[in-house]
Amino acid sequence: MTETVITIPQLSLVLLVGPSGSGKSSFGRKHFLKTEVISSDYCRGLVSDDENDQVATKDAFEVLNFIAGKRLAAGKLTVIDATNVQPEARRPLIDLARKHHVIPVAIVLNVPREVCLARNETRPDRNFGKGVVWGQAEALRRSIKGLKKEGFGHVTVLDATEIDTVRIERQPLWPDKRDVTGPFDLIGDIHGCFDELEALMVKLGYVIEGRTPFRVTHPEGRKLVFVGDLVDRGPKTPEVLRIVMDMVADGRAFCVAGNHDDKLRKALQGRDVKIAHGLAESLEQLSFETPEFRQRVIRFLDGLISHYVFDGGKLAVSHAGLKEHYIGRGSPRIRSFAMFGETTGEIDAFGLPVRYNWARDYRGDTMLVYGHTPVPEPEWLNRTINLDTGCVFGGKLTALRYPEKEIVQVDAARVYCEPVRPIGYGQDARDADVLDIDDVAGKRIVETELARNIVIREENAMAALEVMSRFAVDPRLLIYLPPTMSPPETSGFDGWLEHPAEAFDYYRKQGVATVVAEEKHMGSRAVVVLGRDADVVSRRFGTAEAGLGTVYTRTGRAFFADKTMEQAFLARLAKAMETAGLWDHLASDWVCLDTEIMPWSAKAMALIEQQYAPVGAAAAHVLPLAAELLARAGQAGMAEKMAERAGMVSAYRDAYRRYCWDVKGVGDYRVAPFHVLAHEGGFNLDRDHLWHLEMIDRLCAADPGFVTTTRRQVIDLSDAAQVAAATRWWEDETAAGMEGMVVKPMGFTIKGQKGVIQPGVKCRGREYLRIIYGPEYTAPENLSRLKARNVGAKRSLAQREYALGYEALKRFVAKEPLYRVHEAVFGVLALESEPADPRL
């Protein structure tokens, strides 16, 4: 028996066509996955409990269409097991395939009607009359000829003998070059500028060995990808075609179709096209070539496809861009979009149609490289980049190295053609700033490098949306939010709630050899985004209104209510950076610092006035009085207890008073930076703490009256003497008023077996904790109960928040689009609204 091979596109909508009893279901079972086949009978059953209930047909097909639509949207091949014998039954399915830009395929089971009838007779559930099958067979007979015309991309008619010998082969779609991984050099619109192309190729390291034909190699085996518009306007269109055709033929280059290339093809094929926009030059230049060459050009241009997908789906290339859900699919609409883009229907001041800015709405993970619209400089927008820098208009010819993301350019030798509208016209620099509610709202899953997928619950996102939009600073400046921090497990020592022993234990168990214990300052946490000057901030952060930057709290609010104070604070810090030589040392003109700003009272005054001070005032007044009254009543024991309580209250008042002083000007603030989070080209959460402390010490030295040092101990956890010394240091300093310390793994971000380990564990002083657990928490009857606390939930929260903050900062440093940074920062804020014991 010879095999009949049917080739179908990997992604297609396959209609099995044949009367009842023609064997569609068995055919489907044999050649496709169970889940790939949707049967109308099954859908009938779903809506009516009876697979043969014809009354349910309308509802059943709605269900069938819905499921098929979902599968196609997800890029899954789908098979429709229904009779599909009437054109009106096939029409909606063809439309559905078009809507999802997949190819409709018809496989006809052309079985004699007698066979169908005989089969149905053996099926007691199929008691519909002979006439039905007869009618179906008749409808099929009339349909077969016109199937191609109806819009099917592939039609196979199988007769009874062929059905059993079929093998189905799935073919990758044309654009699918996922297995080609590069490295690539992608080249923007050339428009006949051969000299510039050659210069650029040389600059990129290509060696042109022969010229007839062109033999081009690259020592590293790099490949060229052209974004189309090879032709028109420029002086040497035939030369450009020649080198590109030769390289494509050699398998050393890929090229997608540009609108000019397509129009030139039509003109050469003798079709009636308007000779404009530089087409005349191409035709004239080609008229000096041989007819054979012109034929070759026609064949080449005719074979160009709309777009390519490379490197496992990480890179896509088209001439005028693509929408995310078009990538890797094929349809006339996609081809048209890939070559021309879309217009909004409006006409601009130069009488040209206004282009729809699809890149602004692009949210795909695939890097998308395109050209078509000349721009002054290539700029990233939502993982897309336009390489058309108007070489033929006297601009530049641009290449993008992939995966390096490096731009290589050569200047045009001269202006070959004047543009109709100025280059860059209508391009809105602020487009990159547009955030969509869909970027943050609802239940979301944020992919992170450190902790994989982090789930943001809808109600948390709702709370965060309100805080973000009512109180937070400009999202363009909000590039990081610090995670919450967990304390150690409760201390095993009597009379202590927290003690360094458990913090050291935690890291020892995680396999960390060296930790640094840093002084925990008692002020307010603040993230500082600082530029060397206002221009830098405007350029790098895209906001001209931020001056030198901003300072914000752990929930993203502006730290300073007074803008003038904020700018004065930043100016002083910028000066310290200058004096310390850190701008030059970091080779950056902006920096993001993790800091604590003192005094506590500067930010927490409302809290102090409404909560801390009133508690102290009332307690300090009433407890001694109670003691006195009890003594007078002869209750000496109870009087003594009240006196003890009064003592604890007095310790409590001392504890918070240390952190309060009046602030009139910038000079009254103290800032203690402890992490140099990021700077241009520098993502520093993977650098060890010694590096951070070294940078910070230099900053402190530059303005010691303003920038406060962070005292620290470096501890080898296997050295008992070092551990003991650090413990003593903590005991002494906290007794003298230090809030506490934060123990951190020296390497900053450490991945353990269960995800990232805590980047810090705080260990707070005994006296300080009165502010947290209440003035009298040290009373034995209170402490014994407070010791029953669980840090598990807090640790999990800290881990997730850290992963999101890390992600946000890393994305910002890598110049990812604003929405990508914002999604992660927003996630931190949303997680913060989860209920957690605020004392931990």
Partner 1 sequence: MLLTISTTHAPATDLGYLLHKNPQRLHSQTLSFGTAHVFYPDARNDLCTAALMLEIDPVGLVRKKGPNEGFALEQYVNDRPYVASSFLSVALGQVFRTAMSGRSKDRQDLADSAVPYEIHLPALPSRGGEGLLARLFGPLGYEVTATRLALDEAFPAWGGSACYDVRLRITARLGDVLRHLYVLIPVLDADKHYWVGDDEVEKLLQKGEGWLDSHPERELVARRYLKNLRGLAEVVMERLSDGEAVPDPVRQDGQEETLEKAINLNRQRMEWVVAALKRLGAKSVVDMGCGEGRLLGLLSKDLEFEKITGCDVSVRALEIARARLNFDRLPEFQQQRIQLLQSALTYRDKRLAGYDAATVIEVVEHLEPERLDAFARAVFEHAKPLHAIVTTPNAEYNALFPNLPAGKFRHPDHRFEWTRAEFEAWADSVAERFGYTVTFEAVGTVHETLGAATQAAIFTKGDKQ
Within 72-91, the residues that bind partner 1 by CB under 8 A are none
Options 604, 743, 821, 824; binder of partner 1; rule CB under 8 A: 604
Smallest CA-to-CA distance from 79 within 132, 119, 25, 43 is with 25
How many residues bind partner 1, per CB under 8 A?
79
Output DSSP code: residue 54. G
Options 248, 423, 565, 836; binder of partner 1; rule CB under 8 A: 836
Residue 611: CB minimum distance to partner 1, A: 5
Is there a contact between 500 and 743 (Cβ–Cβ < 8 Å)? yes
Cα 282 to Cα 233: distance, rounded to the nearest angstrom: 7
Options 25, 65, 796, 833; binder of partner 1; rule CB under 8 A: 833
Cα 699 to Cα 696: distance, rounded to the nearest angstrom: 5
Options 466, 668, 716, 719; binder of partner 1; rule CB under 8 A: 466
User: Of 538-597, which residues contact partner 1 (CB under 8 A)?
Assistant: 543, 545-546, 553-555, 557
Residue type, 167: R
Q: Does 63 bind partner 1 (CB under 8 A)?
A: no
Is there a contact between 225 and 400 (Cβ–Cβ < 8 Å)? no
Residue 607: CB minimum distance to partner 1, A: 4
Options 275, 445, 607, 725; binder of partner 1; rule CB under 8 A: 607
Return the number of the residue (121 or 609) whose C-beta is nearest partner 1: 609
Distance of CA 388 to the CA centre of its chain: 25
User: Of 430-459, which residues contact partner 1 (CB under 8 A)?
Assistant: 430, 433-441, 459
In sequence order, which residues have a C-beta less than 8 Å from that of residue 159 and are 6 or more positions away? 110, 111
Smallest CA-to-CA distance from 556 within 485, 482, 486 is with 482
Q: Give me the residues paired with residue 452 across strands.
A: 448
Return the number of the residue (391 or 546) whose C-beta is nearest partner 1: 546
Is there a contact between 101 and 75 (Cβ–Cβ < 8 Å)? no
Torsion sign across C-alpha atoms 44, 48, 54, 57: negative
Return the number of the residue (132 or 467) whose C-beta is nearest partner 1: 467
Return the number of the residue (71 or 554) whose C-beta is nearest partner 1: 554
Pairing label, strands 549-552, 524-531: antiparallel
Residue 436: CB minimum distance to partner 1, A: 5
Return the number of the residue (423 or 836) whose C-beta is nearest partner 1: 836
Cα 15 to Cα 399: distance, rounded to the nearest angstrom: 44
Options 298, 571, 613, 690; binder of partner 1; rule CB under 8 A: 613
Return the number of the residue (106 or 660) whose C-beta is nearest partner 1: 660
Torsion angle defined by CA atoms of residues 540, 546, 552 and 557, in that order, rounded to the nearest 10 degrees: -120
Return the number of the residue (125 or 668) whose C-beta is nearest partner 1: 668
Residue 129: CB minimum distance to partner 1, A: 44
15 token code pair: 């209609």
220 token code pair: 């590293």
Q: Which residues of 165-177 are buried (b: 16+ CB within 10 A; e: fewer)?
A: ebebeeeebebbb
Cα 658 to Cα 119: distance, rounded to the nearest angstrom: 93
Options 119, 215, 401, 839; binder of partner 1; rule CB under 8 A: 839
Options 125, 404, 411, 609; binder of partner 1; rule CB under 8 A: 609
Residue 773: CB minimum distance to partner 1, A: 6
Residue 705: CB minimum distance to partner 1, A: 23
Options 415, 629, 735, 814; binder of partner 1; rule CB under 8 A: 629
Residue 835: CB minimum distance to partner 1, A: 5
Options 118, 618, 724, 735; binder of partner 1; rule CB under 8 A: 618
Residue type, 682: G
Return the number of the residue (383 or 476) whose C-beta is nearest partner 1: 476
Q: Cα dist. 537→475, 548, 815 in Å?
A: 13, 6, 14
Q: 458-471 vs 818-832: helix axis angle to the nearest 10?
A: 110
Find tokens 């010694």 and name the residue.
690
Q: Does 617 bind partner 1 (CB under 8 A)?
A: yes
Return the number of the residue (409 or 543) whose C-beta is nearest partner 1: 543
The helix/strand/coil state of 651 is helix
Return the number of the residue (119 or 363) whose C-beta is nearest partner 1: 363
Stretch of 218-226, 362-370, 381-389, 616-624 lying at the interface with partner 1 (CB under 8 A): 616-624
Q: Cα dist. 369→144, 337, 712 in Å?
A: 42, 14, 49
Return the number of the residue (293 or 425) whose C-beta is nearest partner 1: 425
Residue 345: CB minimum distance to partner 1, A: 13
Residue 598: CB minimum distance to partner 1, A: 16
Cα 679 to Cα 677: distance, rounded to the nearest angstrom: 7
Cα 218 to Cα 108: distance, rounded to the nearest angstrom: 50
For residues 404 to 433, the per-residue mask of contacts with partner 1, x marking binding by CB under 8 A and - elsewhere, is --------------------------x--x
Pairing label, strands 315-318, 367-370: parallel
Strand order in the sheet with 682-683: 549-552, 524-531, 590-598, 670-679, 682-683
Return the number of the residue (698 or 839) whose C-beta is nearest partner 1: 839
Residue 176: CB minimum distance to partner 1, A: 31
Cα 694 to Cα 696: distance, rounded to the nearest angstrom: 5
Residue 468: CB minimum distance to partner 1, A: 7
Cα 544 to Cα 535: distance, rounded to the nearest angstrom: 8
Is there a contact between 309 and 328 (Cβ–Cβ < 8 Å)? yes
User: Of 716-775, which residues contact partner 1 (CB under 8 A)?
Assistant: 771-775
CA 412-383-99 angle, 5° bins: 110
Smallest CA-to-CA distance from 524 within 557, 548, 498, 549 is with 557
Options 162, 379, 474, 816; binder of partner 1; rule CB under 8 A: 474
Residue 330: CB minimum distance to partner 1, A: 27
Find tokens 């991309």 and name the residue.
153
Cα 769 to Cα 739: distance, rounded to the nearest angstrom: 8
User: Of 103-142, which residues contact partner 1 (CB under 8 A)?
Assistant: none
User: Of 323-342, which residues contact partner 1 (CB under 8 A)?
Assistant: none
Options 530, 597, 630, 828; binder of partner 1; rule CB under 8 A: 630
In sequence order, which residues have a C-beta less than 8 Å from that of residue 808 and are 6 or more positions away? 479, 480, 481, 821, 822, 824, 825, 828
Stretch of 164-172, 237-245, 463-471, 684-692 lying at the interface with partner 1 (CB under 8 A): 463-471
Is there a contact between 588 and 676 (Cβ–Cβ < 8 Å)? no
Cα 534 to Cα 566: distance, rounded to the nearest angstrom: 13
User: Of 659-698, which residues contact partner 1 (CB under 8 A)?
Assistant: 660, 662
Options 119, 657, 670, 687; binder of partner 1; rule CB under 8 A: 657
Stretch of 267-275, 295-303, 653-661, 800-808 lying at the interface with partner 1 (CB under 8 A): 653-661
Options 626, 643, 714, 750; binder of partner 1; rule CB under 8 A: 626
Q: Give me the residues paired with residue 353 across strands.
A: 347
Return the number of the residue (299 or 443) whose C-beta is nearest partner 1: 443
Residue 661: CB minimum distance to partner 1, A: 9
User: Of 631-650, which residues contact partner 1 (CB under 8 A)?
Assistant: 632-633, 635, 638
Return the number of the residue (726 or 797) whose C-beta is nearest partner 1: 797
Is there a contact between 831 and 804 (Cβ–Cβ < 8 Å)? yes
416 token code pair: 């070959």
Residue 785: CB minimum distance to partner 1, A: 5
User: Of 766-825, which residues contact partner 1 (CB under 8 A)?
Assistant: 771-777, 782, 785-786
Q: Does 345 bind partner 1 (CB under 8 A)?
A: no
82 token code pair: 């229904």
Residue 782: CB minimum distance to partner 1, A: 5
User: Of 205-264, which residues contact partner 1 (CB under 8 A)?
Assistant: none
